[in-house]
Structure 1
Amino acid sequence: MKPKFKNKYRVESARLPNRDYAANGLYFVTMCTRDRTCFFGDVIAGKIHLSNIGQIAQQYWAEIPSHFEHTYIDTYIIMPNHVHGIIVIDRPYNVETRNFASLQSDESNKFAPLKPGSLQAIIHAYKSAVTRWCRKNGEDNFAWQSRFYEHIIRADGSVDRIREYIINNPAKWEDDNDNPANLWM
């Protein structure tokens, strides 16, 4: 019998085709390392112990608002091989800036530059900064999974459940689908 690959983040969430991901909102994101390699540290007795790369990943995550205007960081956790966090985009004005042509087809903007201040631009910059630090500091094996999971948090009270999930993630590491010990179950 072939082992079943358990992974709740294997497929990138379906982007909403007409959603402007630079629009105001709360976004729950998860980014994993390639092959779920535990570059960021370890969980011991339900507490995360960060490696040097994990400390950089945490520092750079906390610095996101310094690089993106009207962007805030809510609850987050750096796990051994992934990052969970809530990013808040809160501009004083919330104007849709996508033009009509970009709404015609998901493929029309496939290779265009990332929209400044968008969720994709924030995640791309974060992942690039961590990767650059790793290369500069001899951690040449470090790599991210190319995609990330995102969920738009609705105004239905789910933000508290998501915060609780993030906070409790280290305590549940033993049973976590991203724990390498559980990947082939």
Structure 2
Amino acid sequence: MENESKKSRKKNRLKDFDYSSNASYFLTICSDRRKEIFSKIVYNETVGANIVRPSAIGKIIENDILKIENIYPCVFVDSYVIMPNHIHLILTIDTIRRPMVAPTIAMVIKQFKGAVSKETGTTVWQKGFYDHIIRDDEDYNTKAQYIDTNPLTWERDELYTER
């Protein structure tokens, strides 16, 4: 009876999918309580568009994103953006170019989130993360373009919060 009263978390992974298989993954990881602590989106007159200005925490996040390929040689960081309260990444697992036992995406994200939390000395992440298994080149290009244009459309983003 006690277990029934506990709130159960919805599983957000594809059942029976091997998350260590050769594939590209579009990932979203949110800040704890969606606090805007990773960056600011500011309009840049010179560029004529919104740009990302990372906070101190955002710089730690970026540094740890760039370490992923060294920690996991068969995992490639293809693209990323550090938004105010979330990050998006495209990670590709490729054991053909670098033959080895691949980690699961969950293992990579657990290590990454743990490293950031350790360096910042605080909890900066909400539990879990969202994933989308990229199915083909068109899907890949759509997700990569979304990452590239996310700062430009921040005010329309579902994770945008009014200030």
Bucket of the pairwise TM-score, normalised by the shorter protein: 0.7 to 0.9
2:104 maps to which of 112, 115, 118: 118
User: Quick check: which one's strand share is greater?
Assistant: 2
Pick the aligned partner of 1:25 from 23, 26, 41: 23
Distance in structure 2 (CA, Å) of the matches to 1:148 and 1:64: 16
Cα deviation for residue 117 of structure 1 reads: 0.8
TM-score, normalisation: structure 1: 0.74
Shift in Å at residue 174 of structure 1?
1.4
Query: How far apart, in 2, do the equivalents of 1:128 and 1:44 lie?
Result: 29
Matching residue within 36, 50, 53 for 1:49: 53
Q: Is the 8 A contact 1:12 1:148 kept in 2?
A: no
Which runs of 5 or more residues in structure 2 are unaligned?
Answer: 1-8, 44-49
Tell me the amino acid that sits aligned with residue 113 of structure 2.
K
- Give the percent of matched residue pairs that are identical in Structure 1 and Structure 2: 32
1:25-75 CA-partner distances (Å, limit 9, x unpaired) = 000000000111011121011111011110110111111010012110101
Q: How many angstroms apart in 2 are the aligned matches of 1:17 and 1:35?
A: 27
Distance 1:75 1:25, change over 3 A: same
The answer to whether residue 18 in structure 2 is matched with residue 14 in structure 1 is no
Deviations 1:148-172 (A, max 9, x none): 0000000251111111100000011
How big is each residue's C-alpha offset from its partner over 1:84-141, in whole Å with a ceiling of 9 and x where there is no partner?
A: 0100000028x9x9xxxxxxxxxxxxxxxxxx61100000000000000010xxxx3x
Residue 157 (structure 2) pairs with residue 171 (structure 1): no
Q: Does 1:83 align with 2:99?
A: no
1:70 touches 1:90 (CA, 8 Å); kept in 2? yes
Tell which has more relative contact order, 1 or 2 (C-alpha 8 A, sep 6+): 1
Of 80-89 and 155-164, more deviation after overlay is shown by 155-164
Number of equivalent positions: 148
Contact 1:13 1:150 in 2 (8 A): no
* 1:134 corresponding residue in structure 2: 120
RMSD: 2.3
Q: Do 1:12 and 1:147's aligned partners in 2 also have CA atoms closer than 8 Å?
A: no
User: In structure 1, what is the Cα distance between the partners aligned to 2:89 and 2:73?
Assistant: 18
Alignment partner, residue 143 of structure 2: 162
